[in-house]
Amino acid sequence: MFPFKCFGSESKIKDSKMDFYHDVSDKRDEKGSSKVIRNIEWGMMDKRKFFPLSMLSSFSVRCALYPLTLIKTRLQIQKHNDLYTGMFDAYAKIYKYEGFKGLYRGFWVSSVQIVSGVFYISTYESIRHGMQDNRVPSSLRALIAGGCASVIGQSIVVPFDVLSQHLMMMGVHGREEQAFNNLGIKTKPNQSKFTITVEVAKQIFRTDGIAGFYRGYFASLCSYVPNSALWWGFYHFYQDHLFAIMPSWFSHLLLQSISGTLGGFSTTLLTNPLDVVRARLQVQRIGSMRCAFRDLWVEEGFRMFTKGLTARLIQSATFSFSIIIGYETIKRISVKEEYKQYVKW
């Protein structure tokens, strides 16, 4: 059992209701401290600092990486390579025909995800911490908590996700324009983003009713729940193994960022077909996941496993690295005073 005396009095530890068994290491840091907190737990943070900083970080990362999300979605929706031959070709054509703003179609609707992100991360941290007393391995705790958090997050964000993905398809030039914009909405040069968004929302409602905003909800759960669970599980798996082999002077924050990037790569390779099916269900109004898988197989064959994969790998790796840098930095900034001396950067 971890010796509590290194954190102060035993009563102070009991009052904090924390068990550090899974989250400390006997490695000495550069200052000679014999104990280092490996994972900053939910109860160690000042939530008044954590929540606003977390939302700001999430918004900044999404803003910077949104063009990759849009390109990935268009590559997944198109049939074969009829419109874009790859990620760089898609970027060049979107920029040429739609301008820089074309890379941010639907961004403001998509940015609502920062609100669902608060519920997501609260659920994740609470469940992961709640399982700590049962001596469950950190990677398994993270996998279970990540899956549960995704169910909560997707239940909130799917209507906005559906709307933003339709907006991503607006303005496409070429022979697949109708397939990309199957709601049949024509935009005008002087229309505001708000007006276009309202028109798309009205058309979704006229076509499918309220259910239209939850089209692909089950597919989203089938895609994002395992994606979230695996990502957090891989993140802690890689972190635990890298921490064991890296020298004590190596930056813990950098180690965590590398772990997040590796976790993103691993998860993306395993879940890419599910993400393609989810996108097609939400945009092309296909009847079921079975039909979407069948159509995808008929169109692409084994290429269905790599459709949009390059863009998604780059997006996932960049997103994972950026999110972990921001997330773990904010956790360090938000940590309560009594734990700061045991947190390693």
Q: What is the CATH number of the domain that holds 294?
A: 1.50.40.10
**Where in the sequence is the domain holding 240, given as residue range(s)?**
35-333
What pLDDT sits at residue 201? 82
Residue 201 token pair:
């929302």
Residues 318, 321, 324, 329: is their CA dihedral positive or negative? negative
- Reported as a single tens digit per residue, the pLDDT across 40-81 is 888 888 888 888 888 888 888 888 888 888 888 888 777 767
pLDDT the model gives residue 258: 92
- The pLDDT score that the predictor gives to residue 341 is 81
- Whether the predicted pLDDT of 219 surpasses 60: yes
Q: Per the domain annotation, does 16 fall within a domain?
A: no
In a domain, 123, yes or no: yes
Tens of pLDDT, residues 249-305: 888 889 999 999 999 888 888 888 777 777 776 666 666 677 777 777 777 776 766
Rounded mean pLDDT, 73-102: 82
Average pLDDT over residues 35-41: 77
Per the prediction, the chain carries an average pLDDT of 76
Decide if 210 is inside a domain: yes
Domain count, the chain: 1
Cβ-proximal residues to 141 (8 Å cutoff; 6+ apart), any chain = 22, 127, 128, 131, 132, 236
Q: Is residue 19 situated within a structural domain?
A: no
194 assigned to some structural domain: yes
Task: Report the alpha-carbon distance of residue 292 to residue 218 in Å, rounded.
Answer: 13
Has residue 21 been placed in a domain?
A: no
State residue 26's pLDDT score: 46
Mean pLDDT of the region 115-126: 85
Residue 10, in any domain of the structure:
no
**Rounded Cα distance, 308 and 264, in Å:** 15
43 versus 15: which is more confidently predicted? 43
- For residue 204, being part of any structural domain is answered with yes
